[in-house]
Amino acid sequence: MCQFSIAFSGDAESLIKRAKQQIEQAGGSLLGDATQGSFQGQTPIGSIEGSYNVEGQKISLNITKKPFLLSCSRIEKELSAVMQ
């Protein structure tokens, strides 16, 4: 459904650890490590699911399920903010 990549600074392990904490605090889950994995969570308008793959200082995200009213660009914007 949605595919995009986000550049990040720092190490991948810290990024994934921080993402996992934020996702779990919001009632979702993240399964994986500093190279690849999957995640799921809830938004106010429905659930979101996807996978990720880390290469160097870039994380590639593939959103496989999202609420119809939630645009890919909005998801990318929100995830970019979390990863900075």
Give pLDDT tens digits for 43-61.
Answer: 889 999 999 999 999 999 9
Give pLDDT tens digits for 5-19.
Answer: 999 999 999 999 998
Structure tokens at 31: 């399964």
Domains for the chain: give ranges and CATH numbers: 2-82 (3.30.310.80)
SS3 sequence of 44-79: CCEEEEEEEEEECCEEEEEEEECCCCCCHHHHHHHH
Which residue's structure tokens are 């600074």?
Answer: 9
